[in-house]
Amino acid sequence: MTDKIRVVLSSDHAAIDLRQAIAAHIQTMGFEAIDIGPTTTESTHYPKHGEAAARMIAKGEADLGIIICGTGQGIMMAANKVHGIRCGVCHDTFSAAMIRAHNDAQMLAMGARVIGEGLALEVVDAFLKTAFEGGRHATRVDMIKAIEA
């Protein structure tokens, strides 16, 4: 058992290197990285990788998730189809902090063909270091949950 925050990572073929760099980075930050691949650059389908990571969070097998495809958009759309999941695409640190603080997002999506590794790691830091503020934001997140219910 570990008391570390568990972060699941997945990607498609467009983002293997960036995903692995993020996994190594967040381990140095004290998070547990659960990297579910894939490990080769063979062409694959982003929906199954977004879904797999999202389902781990929905089942309580991970606390947060970072998912990456070429743009971040497709893998985000797939993750958001899993009940209870809130995932946003962010390529700037302000948005990455706000999806935690205001939207209580469990998942961050990025595009490896959009963002360089240096900024991507800063975006990850902003996402992981920010807590949900609750209050009026909880009311609004509850409204999102009600749409699903």
- List the catalytic residues: 69, 102
71 makes contact with ligand RB5 (CB under 6 A): yes
> For residues 131 and 115, what is the distance between their CA atoms, to the nearest angstrom?
24
Rank residues 12 and 35 by Cβ distance to ligand RB5 and give the closer one. Answer: 12
Is beta strand 6-11 parallel, antiparallel or unpaired with respect to 107-111? Answer: unpaired
* 69 near ligand RB5, judged by CB under 6 A: yes
Q: Is 115 helix (H, G, I), strand (E, B) or coil?
A: coil
- In DSSP terms, 6 is beta-bridged to 32
Q: Which residue is nearest to ligand RB5 (CB)?
A: 74
In angstroms, rounded to a whole number, what is the distance separating the alpha carbons of residues 133 and 146? Answer: 19
Cβ atoms of residues 135 and 102 within 8 Å:
no
Tokens of 129: 């270091």
Least separation in angstroms between residue 17's CB and ligand RB5 is 13
Is 50 a binding residue for ligand RB5 by CB under 6 A? The answer is no
Q: Which is nearer to ligand RB5, 16 or 56 (CB)?
A: 16
Residue 31 binding ligand RB5, by CB under 6 A: no
Residue 127 binds ligand RB5 (CB under 6 A):
no
